[in-house]
Amino acid sequence: MNREESLQQDENELSKILAGNGGKIYPVLRDNNWSGLEYGALFKPLIGTFEQPKIVIAVAHDMPNNLVYIPYSQEFGVDGLNAIYDEAQINLEAIQVTYKVKKHRSHCEVDASGHEFSSEFLLHNPFIQELHTILKSDEIAVAVPRRGYFKAIALSTSKDLYNAFIDDYEAAYDSEEIEKPPITKGVFVIRNGKIVQRGELEKY
């Protein structure tokens, strides 16, 4: 598809949204280098502040060919913004998450990569609670180095699995062959269903 065709496609999808025929809206994780921040897209910080965001939650229409991000408008008001994010969250949590469990002796890793919103499963509360059960731990590490990627382990997992987990997410983040946008090279530490920390793990 050439640039002219791509622009026409974008215009057609935007016209559908403006006519009330847009796809469902979902939260989308982006880093602070995302161009949408410069061009006024709606967002709230997941990590950082509005003034200095590091990782943000944007909201986009899931259209057949693109994600079309919602721009910020003062007309939304507090109630309107809350309603947008509530709807996006409901749509996300309506997704039936599919995943693979990689077992390594008495430990395991959960891989839910491959879905358009895999990285956003970090925000999928029912799935995060399920992860605690699968991994048999109140404290887990979740890696979402790029959109479409999601892997999780218990922080108390074996040395071999822990180090392999780090190798995998660092390789995904550093790869120049993966087209999905980067999010973070670190991991999110989740304790009892709540994100309590973000940072890079060190091998041991």
pTM of the model: 0.91
3-class secondary structure, 135: helix
Percent of the chain past pLDDT 90, that is, above it, reads: 79
> Burial level of 134, CB count in 10 A (0-12/13-18/19+)?
middle
- Quote the tokens at residue 100: 């693979």
Give the integer Cα–Cα distance in Å for 56 and 20: 26
The pLDDT score that the predictor gives to residue 13 is 66
- The whole-chain average pLDDT of the chain stands at 91
The pLDDT score that the predictor gives to residue 18 is 59
3-class secondary structure, 198: strand
User: Is residue 6 within 8 Å of 34, Cβ to Cβ?
Assistant: no
- Report in angstroms the alpha-carbon separations of 111 from 8, 149, 190: 36, 8, 16
Q: How confident is the model at residue 146 (pLDDT cuts 50, 70, 90)?
A: very high
Give the integer Cα–Cα distance in Å for 141 and 72: 32
Q: How crowded is the C-beta side of 186, counted as CA atoms within 13 Å? A: 11
The pLDDT score that the predictor gives to residue 203 is 87
Q: Where are the alpha helices (DSSP H) in the chain?
A: 3-18, 35-38, 77-93, 125-135, 159-174
The pLDDT score that the predictor gives to residue 22 is 66
Give the integer Cα–Cα distance in Å for 36 and 175: 22
Residue 15 sits at φ, ψ, to 5 deg, of -60, -40
Give the integer Cα–Cα distance in Å for 49 and 39: 18
**How many CB atoms within 10 Å of residue 69?**
20
